[in-house]
Amino acid sequence: MNKDLKISAWIGKFSGADDLIQYVETRYGASGNSMSQFWSEIGISWFDDDFREASMLSPGNETLAEELREFSYGESFADELLRRLINVRQSGMDGLILLYDFDYPNVGTQRPHSRVTFVGSFDYSK
């Protein structure tokens, strides 16, 4: 659901940046319909890629706070996201996906074998 100044975050296991980008990339079918593996797995039908960021994080939590601050508006949500990530993140979960101006409405309805885990929705400021 579109919601100004809200960010929703997912973390998942990816072999590298190329794998992560392929996962979130919008593709177009023969009929012209847009689709994304990420959208399918989290239960949404479309999202404007201009409001999405995806990046590979360093393993472990030593530099995590600094890395989160590097995202757009990261200074405004990094501390809260960091606390949540430390509780959710498992070994090998290094791909972070952020959707801006989006409050994830489908908490608990993700596919059971999704490559990503919902971390939470957070307020941010511009």
Q: Which residue has the tokens 């971390």?
A: 119
Whole-angstrom Cα distance, residue 29 to residue 36? 10
Q: Which domain holds residue 79?
A: 2-123
Average pLDDT rounded to a whole number, residues 112-118: 89
Q: Which residues have a Cβ under 8 Å from the Cβ of 106 and sit 6 or more positions away?
A: 42, 43, 44
33-40: long-range contacts at Cβ-Cβ below 8 A with a sequence spacing of 24 or more?
37/115, 38/10, 38/97, 38/116, 40/111
Confidence (pTM): 0.92
> In the numeric block, which tokens belong to residue 71?
């995202």
Q: How many domains does the chain have?
A: 1
Look at residue 109 in the predicted model and tell me its pLDDT: 61
8 A C-beta contact, residue 59 and residue 65: no
**107 pLDDT more than 80:** no
Residues 8-23: pLDDT tens digits? Answer: 999 999 999 999 999 9
Look at residue 76 in the predicted model and tell me its pLDDT: 98
| Percent of the chain predicted with pLDDT > 70 | 95
